[in-house]
Structure 1
Amino acid sequence: MIRLDNISKQNGKQIVFIEASAALLKGEKIGLVGPNGAGKTTLFRMITGQEPPDEGQVSADRGITIGYFNQDVGEMSGQSALAAVMDGAGPVSVVAAELKEIEIALGDPDRADEMEALVERYGEVQGRFEELGGYALEGRASEVLDGLGFSQEMMDGDVGKLSGGWKMRVALGRILLMRPDVMLLDEPSNHLDIESLIWLEDFLRGYDGALMMTAHDRAFMNRIVNKVVEIDSGTLTSYTGNYEFYAEQRALADKQQQAQFERQQAMLAKEIAFIERFKARASHAAQVQSRVKKLDKIDRVEPPRRRQTVTFEFQPAPRSGEDVVTLSGVNKAYGSKVIYDGLDFSIRRKERWCVMGVNGAGKSTLLKLVTGSTNPDTGIVKLGGSVKLGYFAQHAMEVLDGERTVFESLEDAFPQAGQGSLRSLAGCFGFSGDDVEKRCRVLSGGEKARLVMAMMLFDPPNFLVLDEPTNHLDIATKEMLIDALANYEGTMLFVSHDRHFLAALSNRTLELTPDGIHQYGGGYTEYVARTGQEAPGLRH
């Protein structure tokens, strides 16, 4: 349906693509992967015609519709979320608008002389509207918004009053309702909770067009894609299979290339040693010449390109007492909305609690109560002896001073630390070279999250409280964080919508539901096995 033939593209000094080729065929669901800045968004923009390639050709089958969702949703206001989604439904929304215009004209006494033509046109337009499934459109739009987590009140309310994350969901809903022949989705899993993610997975699995998407959620990618296209140093490489298969093949190819490189290096060293040893001897001149010629003709094997993998190791945290935090008879309400009524809950040393619950169930409120960021209306929250707390809040990034650089922020936080150890800390969290001189105001959401995490983990607390720590992080940084936290000796309480993160790190589960609070002795994997569902809010 879409072909990229020998495309080359340069943005400023950066070469994005060099004679790269790939294709997207009907029924294919492609995961587009590559490091940040590799050119994933540029590729989408070339397919949609927003940017031409410098060389080569991007071609699409005649008459196909393309729906493109990206993170830049623009301003939305003045209509309901439902109307905004229906507006994006492609040809049917244009026909609906004409139908409405004719209905108004039919009731206008000044246009009585046009009545016959209007009635005839109304019949034609109505037929086309029916053909396009127009009468079912509102129902389908409601279904999509419901799947993306909207209440009826939010569907009917002004879209302009929604937060950025909810506007993203409206923009995504427009593309899903449109059901184009080709869907291009740039990070559709951002800003979604687990319930909406799982609904979207089912929707995309049942979609019969061609799909190309990027995502920082490994489980989400695994369940949808049947092919992976990797952008790496200007080339496009295709792997048939899901993300897990791609990761295995990628590691295997790197290993083989490394072994090949090492074998060739050993052979070259041997040949060069021979040449050096005998080049001055006339008796060996012919052999030396033949070996020099042989070396000139050899195709040199490149070592595998080093993926920028970062590893972070915790300093051992000081040991806390056995009782880390205890909540007794806690009540908390916001206005008339009661969040907790007589909550009793305690966390013991080395427990790793993940908190599950639908939007508004009180997950972030629990974390705020535990960290003292908010007080209970009544009841007691008590931290145990020798507890040193580290809290990563969703708004943590807002406390960074925009005018300070990455390195200055680390220096401010740890004035006693040496330059070397701070540079190495910055490197672990993906700030290498000149990146440490970036001012905080120009950092992306992911970079800010990494900086805040670096500041929190350098002098490690023995009790970590994390509210959505993986938002904005790419798959590689998430893996680094999971590896680091897996070796962490302290206690954890966290909220996340990343199922890979939940499964890898939890050993206890707290589920917040309208029927009450349930505690499970195992982690997220055991919770799924015991409840038969991946999240509390899934409707069966």
Structure 2
Amino acid sequence: MIRLDGISKQNGHQILFIEASAALQRGEKVGLVGPNGAGKSTLFRMITGEEPPDEGQIVVDRGVTIGYFSQDVGEMAGRSAVAEVMDGAGPVSEVAAELRALEAAMADPDRADEMDDIIVRYGEVQHRFEELDGYALDGRAREVLAGLGFSDAMMDGDVGKLSGGWKMRVALARILLMRPDAMLLDEPSNHLDLESLIWLEQFLQGYDGALMMTSHDREFMNRIVRKVIEIDGGTLTTYTGDYEFYEQQRAQNEKQQQAQFERQQAMLAKEIKFIERFKARASHAAQVQSRVKKLEKIDRVEPPRRRQSVLFEFPPAPRSGEDVVSLKGVHKSYGSRRIYEGLDFQVRRRERWCVLGVNGAGKSTLLKLVAGATEPDDGSVAVGGSVKMGYFAQHAMDLLDGERTVFETLEEAFPEAGQGSLRTLAGCFGFSGDDVEKRARVLSGGEKARLVMALMLYDPPNFLVLDEPTNHLDMTTKEMLVAALAQYEGSMLFVSHDRRFLAALSNRVLELTPEGVHRYGGGYTEYVARTGHEAPGLRS
């Protein structure tokens, strides 16, 4: 269906692909993996024809339609979200646009003298719209948008007034409604809450076309893909199986390659030692020459490539009192929207609460109330004795001074710390060598998130309040963060759509629903087992 034959590609001085080959067959669901900057997005652009390979060819079977979702969604304004989504569905969208224009014309008193012609044309266009199943398309577009978390008001409102994250969802909905023969999805799980993520997972599981996608969400990837193509060092390697199988197989291959490398190195050392020892002796000249020729012909085994990984190290936090934070009779509204009415909630020492709830349920608001970033309309929020809080907010990355370097940002926050200490801190959060001289404005989302965490955790708090801390982190960094937080001995209150993060770190669940607030002892895994669903508002 789609074949990559011996492709090579270079961006500037960086070589992305060297005579790499792979294929996407009909109905296959493939995960595309590799370190940041390996060329995943470039590969998608080459398949869609946006960029040519330097060498080799990409062959797409005749008549195959491709839908490509990227993080660069472009400008959207002046139309409703529904109209924007339907616009991706081909000719029917053009007919729908003319239908809307004719409806506006019929309601315009200044065009009364044209009304007979307008009505005739409206009948023709309406007939064509029915032929193309247009009325069903509107319903299907709304169904997809609802699955991605849109309310009716958001569907019909101006798409230009939506935030960047919601525009991403509109762009994704266009591709899903299109249902092409092949979908290329570049990080579709970004910007989605847990409910939307699970809906998308189910949609893609039921999609009968070919799928190739990248994602930093391990659970999402594992549940959908049945084949993995890895980009590493310019090559494409295919693994048949889910993401978990790929990880196991890759680790096994690395282990075998390391063993082969070590065996060969031992053999080479032995041969070289013999040559060095006897090269000056005429009696051993023939043996020495024989061994020199043997070494020249040996195919050298390369050591496995080691992926750079960030090792988070949190210093031990001071012990807090038993009562970490207590909310009593809290009321909170935004305009006419009531978020909380008389909320009572308490976090005690070493409790790790994850907060679940549909969009608008008040998850981020609860964290803001606890962190003191917003005040309750009524009731009280009391932080306990000896509690030192660290708050990671979704907007925290926007508050970084874009002109300061990573090192200057750390230096300003901790003026009394020594340079060595700050460089060690930067290294723990993935900023090594010249990376500390990068200005904040050029950092990726993941790098900004790591810098904010470094600022928060250098002088360690004993109570972490985290609002979607993994949103911009790649899979490797996320795993390191989970491993580090598993060793953290303080208390936690957090919101996340990453099920691995939820399952690994929570020991309490607070569920916010329209019917009220529910508390569950045990972590996210126990919550799923007890309720039979993975998120509020979803029923198995």
Q: CA deviation at 1:369?
A: 1.2
Asked if 1 retains the 8 angstrom alpha-carbon contact of 2:102 and 2:118, the reply is: no
Same amino acid, percent of matched pairs? 80
Look up the match of 1:7: 7
Distance 1:102 1:155, change over 3 A: closer
Other structure's SS at 1:88 match: helix
1:196-345 paired onto structure 2 within 5 Å = 196-345=196-345
Q: CA deviation at 1:365?
A: 1.1
Other structure's SS at 2:174 match: helix
Look up the match of 1:405: 405
Q: CA deviation at 1:531?
A: 0.7
Distance 1:293 1:489, change over 3 A: same
Look up the match of 1:20: 20
Q: CA deviation at 1:537?
A: 2.0
Other structure's SS at 1:37 match: coil
428-437 vs 69-78, which moves further: 428-437
Unaligned runs of 5+ in 1: none
Look up the match of 1:535: 535
Look up the match of 2:350: 350
Q: What code does the residue aligned with 1:56 have?
A: G
Other structure's SS at 2:89 match: coil
The CA distance in 1 between the partners of 2:193 and 2:145, in whole Å, is 13
132-141 vs 397-406, which moves further: 132-141
The CA distance in 1 between the partners of 2:356 and 2:127, in whole Å, is 47
Distance 1:335 1:208, change over 3 A: same
The CA distance in 1 between the partners of 2:326 and 2:35, in whole Å, is 42
The CA distance in 2 between the partners of 1:77 and 1:179, in whole Å, is 24
Q: CA deviation at 1:417?
A: 2.7
Q: What code does the residue aligned with 1:369 have?
A: L
476-485 vs 450-459, which moves further: 450-459
Asked if 1 retains the 8 angstrom alpha-carbon contact of 2:339 and 2:362, the reply is: yes
**Mapped pair 1:151 → 2:151:** yes
Distance 1:394 1:100, change over 3 A: closer
1:362-373 paired onto structure 2 within 5 Å = 362-373=362-373
Deviations 1:235-257 (A, max 9, x none): 11111111111111111111111
Q: CA deviation at 1:86?
A: 0.8
Look up the match of 2:74: 74
The CA distance in 2 between the partners of 1:394 and 1:339, in whole Å, is 19
The CA distance in 1 between the partners of 2:398 and 2:113, in whole Å, is 58
Q: CA deviation at 1:109?
A: 7.6
Other structure's SS at 2:522 match: coil
Asked if 2 retains the 8 angstrom alpha-carbon contact of 1:99 and 1:122, the reply is: no
Deviations 1:106-152 (A, max 9, x none): 99987989999x89x949x946x556433311111111111111111
1:488-527 paired onto structure 2 within 5 Å = 488-527=488-527
The CA distance in 1 between the partners of 2:98 and 2:536, in whole Å, is 43
Deviations 1:249-294 (A, max 9, x none): 1111111111111111111111111111111111211111111111
Distance 1:115 1:482, change over 3 A: closer
Q: What code does the residue aligned with 1:418 have?
A: G
494-503 vs 420-429, which moves further: 420-429
Q: What code does the residue aligned with 1:493 have?
A: L
Asked if 2 retains the 8 angstrom alpha-carbon contact of 1:6 and 1:55, the reply is: yes
**Mapped pair 1:88 → 2:88:** yes
Look up the match of 1:135: 135
Q: What code does the residue aligned with 1:242 have?
A: D
The CA distance in 2 between the partners of 1:62 and 1:100, in whole Å, is 34
Distance 1:105 1:79, change over 3 A: closer
Q: CA deviation at 1:160?
A: 0.7
Q: What code does the residue aligned with 1:140 have?
A: R
Unaligned runs of 5+ in 2: none
The CA distance in 2 between the partners of 1:111 and 1:375, in whole Å, is 57
The CA distance in 1 between the partners of 2:359 and 2:178, in whole Å, is 27
1:459-498 paired onto structure 2 within 5 Å = 459-498=459-498
Look up the match of 1:195: 195
423-432 vs 88-97, which moves further: 88-97
Q: CA deviation at 1:20?
A: 0.7
Q: What code does the residue aligned with 1:240 have?
A: T
Q: CA deviation at 1:446?
A: 1.2
Asked if 2 retains the 8 angstrom alpha-carbon contact of 1:102 and 1:122, the reply is: no
Asked if 1 retains the 8 angstrom alpha-carbon contact of 2:222 and 2:243, the reply is: yes
Q: CA deviation at 1:415?
A: 2.5
Distance 1:97 1:464, change over 3 A: closer
The CA distance in 2 between the partners of 1:378 and 1:420, in whole Å, is 47
Q: CA deviation at 1:100?
A: 7.0
**Mapped pair 1:421 → 2:424:** no
Distance 1:100 1:383, change over 3 A: closer
Asked if 1 retains the 8 angstrom alpha-carbon contact of 2:532 and 2:539, the reply is: no
Q: CA deviation at 1:432?
A: 2.2
Other structure's SS at 2:431 match: coil
The CA distance in 1 between the partners of 2:244 and 2:421, in whole Å, is 35
Distance 1:443 1:93, change over 3 A: same
279-288 vs 475-484, which moves further: 279-288
The CA distance in 2 between the partners of 1:440 and 1:473, in whole Å, is 16
Look up the match of 1:35: 35
Asked if 1 retains the 8 angstrom alpha-carbon contact of 2:354 and 2:506, the reply is: yes
The CA distance in 2 between the partners of 1:539 and 1:85, in whole Å, is 27
The CA distance in 2 between the partners of 1:483 and 1:367, in whole Å, is 23
Other structure's SS at 1:31 match: strand
- CA RMSD in angstroms, aligned pairs only: 2.3
Deviations 1:463-495 (A, max 9, x none): 111000001111011001001100111111100
Q: What code does the residue aligned with 1:339 have?
A: I
The CA distance in 2 between the partners of 1:186 and 1:435, in whole Å, is 26
Q: CA deviation at 1:318?
A: 0.8
The CA distance in 1 between the partners of 2:396 and 2:103, in whole Å, is 52
Deviations 1:49-80 (A, max 9, x none): 11111111011111111111111111111111
The CA distance in 2 between the partners of 1:49 and 1:250, in whole Å, is 31
Distance 1:328 1:113, change over 3 A: closer
Asked if 1 retains the 8 angstrom alpha-carbon contact of 2:332 and 2:377, the reply is: yes
